[in-house]
Structure 1
Amino acid sequence: MDSLVKHGVILKPTDLEFENLGVLNPAVYQEGNTVHMFYRAAHVGNFSSIGYCQFNGPLDLVQRDKKPIIFPEFIYECHGVEDPRLTKIEDTYYLSYVAYDGVNAFGALAVSKDLKKWKKKGIITPRFSALAYNNLLHEKKIKESDPNALYVKHNNESKHHFNPITKDDAYVWDKNVVFFPRKINGKYAFLHRLLPAIQFASYENLSDLNAEFWSNYIRGLDQHTVLCPKYKHESSHIGSGCPPIETADGWLLIYHATEKSEKGLVYHACAALLDLENPLKVIARLKEPLVSPSETYEKQGYVNFVVFPTGTAIFDGRLYIYYGAADDEIAVASVDFNELMNNLNNQSDENVIS
């Protein structure tokens, strides 16, 4: 992208106990000229909470709290509340995050009216062991070309299915929950990630997201799949990144892609365009990454070669993409919004695996 500018690191860890290991993967909400940032703060031992800071414009840090605003309170998140994303729907803020207990990782939700007081709503993604998940996937005959075959293969190869404490199967990980900023067809809607692809789910009431709902959902997981890994830079897996941005042409989705390489996994920021009323329909998708690790702060850190996008803001016609850099610090890149949309509109896509 010709207009791409990397603005560098804008937030680093401090000596404060809750963030002395790293700061990364921030949720962002833009309110006029103010950028509210809720970031993952990790302390020694890799236990995470969520810190808060504020920017005037895209880059000028003007406030930073000295204590976490959201922290582990329940068994299912005892090892960390991680990787938040933030969306406002009507008069309520929806902050989704990864609840991690040291073995299992689930998508969880907290809500607020004022960005200060948060009420946790618990886990909203499915909870199935590897065996139960596999059985659900196999309840209908799977062709090799089906997306479900991709899930089965990845499930069988996953390293996250053994609980070293109980010696039982662990749960299948479901991460990267990202809400759309308005209801779609009268329902709350979100993207999430059962490896290695991105799925779409919607509901009328949170109570709808029960075991029966998710069992039926997984039986037909291919019908809920938005994006599958397709290009070389997506050779390992992909995941939803920033909350979708509504445009006249569709939902602009900035997502992350993970590439297998000789130096290990490489994380990129990528872009796609989804249909406004049916986000399962992919209108366009860039064939090359939007932002890739090229700077030292992206290539060397707690995890090397990571650009992990989780929030955006728009200033003066430019889209600012906030991301975790090497799982150590928070950095920003920007592109001309119109150039990005023009590039997407010049590239069509189909929901296929290749």
Structure 2
Amino acid sequence: MIKVKKHGIILKKTHLSFEDDSVLNPAIFQEDNTLHMLYRAVRNGNYSTVGYCKLNGPLEVVERNDTPLLIPFSEEESNGVEDPRIVKIEGTFFITYTAYNGINALGALVTSTDLKTFERHGIIVPIFTFDEFKKLAECNNLINAKYFRHVRHFDHKKEIYLWDKDVVFFPRKIDGKFAFLHRIRPGIQLVMVEDLKELTKEFWNHYFLHFKKHIVMDPVGINHESGYLGAGAPPIETELGWLLIYHGVYDTSAGYIYSAAAALLDIDNPLKVIARLVDPLFIPKEEYELKGVVNNVVFPTGTALFDDTLYIYYGAADKCIAAASVSLKELLNELMLNKVTNESN
């Protein structure tokens, strides 16, 4: 049994206009004892920007900006930039987030060398309608039928695209390629390219034609992640493989419940799932996780490692930011007791 310690709320909303509604879903980059936290800051009216604060150690906030670090700059993100994640690859920070225009939610990227100036790369996931996706992906009849269930948004002013969120880069290249996870519901998929300029319409046409090959994990069974999944924090390189902390969702009579989950991916081929916890790593139990803007949510998006203690940072009920911790050794041991034998990738 894994012992998870919850440390409570570490960041709340303020009176500042850009974050007077809520703060949630933080990205974490660790430099020794210093943590850089980039978080989703929401103002009244559900308009999101990215805020910044600095921590000394895993829990002490020592610095916090009074203005956003990232704000919307294009039509694709006219209603907000949401849920950042961060890694550093070969000296450059890769910061992914969801660009939201009120209808479409699509993964986007900015890069930086100093977290002060940023180069915008725009949307890096496919810009496809659901029908375009379906025509290609349904060529493989082994795909989970949930991929073909779509909630259509009707808006006569904006093009409606397939939602593609939770874009998370691996913290280093794999076999000379950039690798990132993304989420087209209900599963988690993988992209590997030598150059991000390869992510063209033609690339995604081929990708969707062979979509099954790119799925890392789909929902399994009737459990905490039976509804859908999403990549959480950037994968952590360990001696046993890539440790992935992600979120699972299932539907109940009281609505969706979001929990934290864990899996282990092969170090050279992240499409191969080595192990996957049968039970959630932790679930909403505390008042600040059960009641908020969206009830019953723990949404992990960042981690930091201090000795053997892995700290997991998450949005709680879409209202505040909290932290939990677990022994990395215990977690890996538990995962190895839950090896996957039926994954086809």
| 3-state SS of paired residue (1:234) | coil
Aligned to 1:22: 22
In structure 2, what is the Cα distance between the partners aligned to 1:141 and 1:2?
Answer: 38
| C-alpha contact (below 8 Å) 1:21/1:42 kept by paired residues | yes
In structure 2, what is the Cα distance between the partners aligned to 1:54 and 1:351?
Answer: 42
Cα deviation 1:271-316 (Å, max 9, x = unaligned): 0000001000000000000010000000000000000000000113
Aligned to 2:174: 184
Cα deviation 1:211-237 (Å, max 9, x = unaligned): 000111011111000011014111210
Aligned to 1:6: 6
Which stretches in structure 2 are left out of the alignment for 5+ residues?
none
Q: Mean alpha-carbon deviation: is it higher for 21-30 or for 198-207?
A: 198-207
Cα deviation 1:118-138 (Å, max 9, x = unaligned): 111110000111111111113
Aligned to 1:100: 100
Cα deviation 1:90-127 (Å, max 9, x = unaligned): 11010000000110011000001112211111100001
Aligned to 1:323: 314
**Matches for 1:51-200 after TM superposition, within 5 Å:** 51-138=51-138, 140-142=139-141, 146=142, 148-150=143-145, 153-156=146-149, 158-159=150-151, 161-166=152-157, 170-200=160-190
Q: Compute the RMSD of aligned alpha carbons.
A: 1.3
Deviation at 1:154, TM superposition (A): 3.6
In structure 2, what is the Cα distance between the partners aligned to 1:340 and 1:308?
Answer: 18
What count of residue pairs does the alignment treat as equivalent? 343
Aligned to 1:256: 247
In structure 2, what is the Cα distance between the partners aligned to 1:93 and 1:285?
Answer: 29
In structure 1, what is the Cα distance between the partners aligned to 2:192 and 2:101?
Answer: 26
| 3-state SS of paired residue (2:153) | coil
Given the alignment of the two structures, is residue 226 of structure 1 paired with residue 216 of structure 2, yes or no? yes
| TM-score, with structure 1 as normaliser | 0.94
| C-alpha contact (below 8 Å) 1:228/1:351 kept by paired residues | no
In structure 2, what is the Cα distance between the partners aligned to 1:68 and 1:313?
Answer: 23
| C-alpha contact (below 8 Å) 2:273/2:343 kept by paired residues | no
The 4+ residue runs of structure 1 with deviation greater than 6 A are none
Aligned to 1:215: 205
- Which of 285, 288, 298 is the matching residue for 2:279? 288
| C-alpha contact (below 8 Å) 1:163/1:169 kept by paired residues | no
Which stretches in structure 1 are left out of the alignment for 5+ residues?
none
**Percent identical residues:** 51
| C-alpha contact (below 8 Å) 1:29/1:313 kept by paired residues | yes
